[in-house]
Amino acid sequence: MLEVKDLAVAFGSIAPLSGVTFSLAKGETLGIVGESGSGKSLTAMSIMGLLPMSDGRVTSGSIVFDGQELTTLNESDYCKLRGGRIGLITQNPMTSLDPLKKIGTQVDAVAILHLGMAKKKARANTVDILHTLRIPEPALICERYPHQMSGGMKQRIVIAMALAADPDLLIADEPTTALDVTVQAQIIRLLDDLVKQRGLALLLITHDMSVVAQTCDRVVVMYAGRAIEQGPVLDIFDNPQHPYTQALVGCIPRDLKDGEKLTSIPGTVPTVLNYPEGCKFHPRCTRAQNICTTVQPELDRNGDSAVACHFAGASI
């Protein structure tokens, strides 16, 4: 359904994203994990064709959605895909809705635009969707304004907008980061149910490993603008190959005893302006050798998994 191959994005001379490769099948949930600044959101925006207009652009690689190449797609065709076949859920529901327009109007617009529905029919469609999202009194909610609703409720409205035209692919960019922990669980469960009921493909971008474990079939781990490892979720958690993934998995607190310290990865993610030569992770890597400082390791496929490391292996 979605094939991203060797995707690279540049803003002028700065190249924050390169060598991103992954694929997503119908009915599958793919997680993209990584620290802040690793290029997760940028990947999502490239797929949506919503890189900041000024100077952000895809410099190489391809994004194929349902047989259609997106990197060369013109704007008006892209508008049909966005909201129509690809839905986007963004990070901060508090600022994601137009504060001057009623909830109903904002959700209706999607069905009116993509399904050619008349206003009344679009509203019925909206009420239906709000209902499946377990929003109480959907018809009443349609007459409300965004500022009258809680964050969790607004995020459901954002999800409703993403679903209104019955898309095939849903991209959720940190959908729970700005929400309360209790609401986070509800939203994640909701997304999970939607995927199962509607056979949607879900691209879930998050930095929360527990969310990944709960919902994803497969995982892509990103570091400094590159996809460094991917595979089925169980493999990634139980048998990570890349030292970074191993460190990341090692950071998940389990069976912590009183007074025991949480583990963390020493150092920080390099910013776009000071990406190191060779493997981007080598300054923080315990396994780094000379070759790591000069040669960028390629993504090495092995069945359903892939890893980009000169010394990939299970040993920790």
Partner 1 sequence: MLLRYIFFRVLMLIPVSISISVVIFMIVHLLPGDPIDNLIRIGSSPGDRALLVTKYGLDQPLFVQYFRWVGAMFQGDFGEAIVLRRPVADLISYNLPFSLSLGAMAFAFSSVVGIILGTISATTRSALVEQFVRGFILMGSTVPGFWLALLMILFFAVQLQIFPVSGAKGWDSLVLPVLTIGFGGVALVARVTRVALMDARREDFVTLLHAKGLSSGTILFRHLIPHAMLPVVTILALRIGWILGGAVTVEFVFGRPGLGSLLIRALGQRDYPVVQGCLLMLALAVMLGTLIGDVAQAAMDPRIREAKT
The dihedral region occupied by 278, where left means phi > 0, alpha psi between -120 and 50, and beta the remainder, is left
Q: DSSP string spanning 72-135?
A: T--HHHHHHHBTTTEEEE-S-GGGSS-TTS-HHHHHHHHHHHHS---HHHHHHHHHHHHHHTT-
Q: Does position 90 bind partner 1 by CB under 8 A?
A: yes
Q: Interaction with partner 1 in 218-247: which residues (CB under 8 A)? A: none
Q: Does position 88 bind partner 1 by CB under 8 A?
A: yes
Q: Does position 81 bind partner 1 by CB under 8 A?
A: yes
Structure tokens at 150: 């809680």
Region of 13-21, 108-116, 250-258, 268-276 interacting with partner 1 (CB under 8 A): 108-116
Q: Which residues pair with 301 in a beta bridge?
A: 306
Q: Does position 47 bind partner 1 by CB under 8 A?
A: no
Tell me how far apart the alpha carbons of residues 203 and 215 are, in angstroms, rounded to a whole number: 11
Region of 10-18, 160-168, 211-219, 262-270 interacting with partner 1 (CB under 8 A): 160-168
Q: Does position 83 bind partner 1 by CB under 8 A?
A: yes
- State in angstroms the smallest separation of the CB of 179 from partner 1: 15
Which of these, 238, 172, 241, 237, lies nearest to 210 by C-alpha position? 237
Q: Does position 76 bind partner 1 by CB under 8 A?
A: yes
Region of 157-165, 235-243, 252-260, 272-280 interacting with partner 1 (CB under 8 A): 157-165
Which residue's CB is nearer to partner 1, number 89 or number 219? 89
Structure tokens at 125: 């469609």
Q: DSSP string spanning 25-36?
A: -TT-EEEEE--T
Q: Does position 176 bind partner 1 by CB under 8 A?
A: no
Q: Which residue has the tokens 């694929």?
A: 23
Q: Does position 209 bind partner 1 by CB under 8 A?
A: no
> Count of residues binding partner 1 (CB under 8 A)?
31
- State in angstroms the smallest separation of the CB of 96 from partner 1: 5
